[in-house]
Amino acid sequence: MWFSNILILVDRNNADRNGLLDIAAAVTDTGTNVINVDEDHYAIEAAAPAEAVATIAAMEGVSYVRCVFSYLCEPQVVKAA
């Protein structure tokens, strides 16, 4: 499965009045791991499944999503002893 480390910028004055923590919770619902929430800059750092990036970018209150890098994370195969 492909993952992307992303930086999400949140519009402080979004129409739905979603707060930074509200958007971080919604981002988590997409299967994304939130790494850091920067309240001073209204930014969220996260590791997301690559297919969730477009969904996050379309969320109300999200003004910008930057894909920092992507990587393949294959499931580990457990070998019998």
- Which of 50, 75, 53 has its CA nearest to residue 62? 53
The CA–CA distances, whole Å, from 19 to 2, 5, 7, 50, 64 equal 29, 22, 16, 24, 15
pLDDT at 15: 85
The whole-model pTM stands at 0.87
* Domain locations along the chain: 2-72
DSSP of 22-45? HHHHHHHTTTPEEEEEETTTTEEE
Domain covering 2-72 in this structure, CATH number? 3.30.70.80
pLDDT at 75: 80
Digit-coded pLDDT (tens) for 35-79: 999 999 999 999 999 999 999 999 999 999 999 999 998 888 888
> Is the pLDDT at 34 greater than 90, yes or no?
yes
Number of helices followed by number of strands (H, E) in the chain? 2, 4
pLDDT at 37: 97
Residue 5 — very low, low, confident or very high, per pLDDT cuts 50/70/90? Answer: very high
Stretch (H or E) spanning 64:
strand 62-72
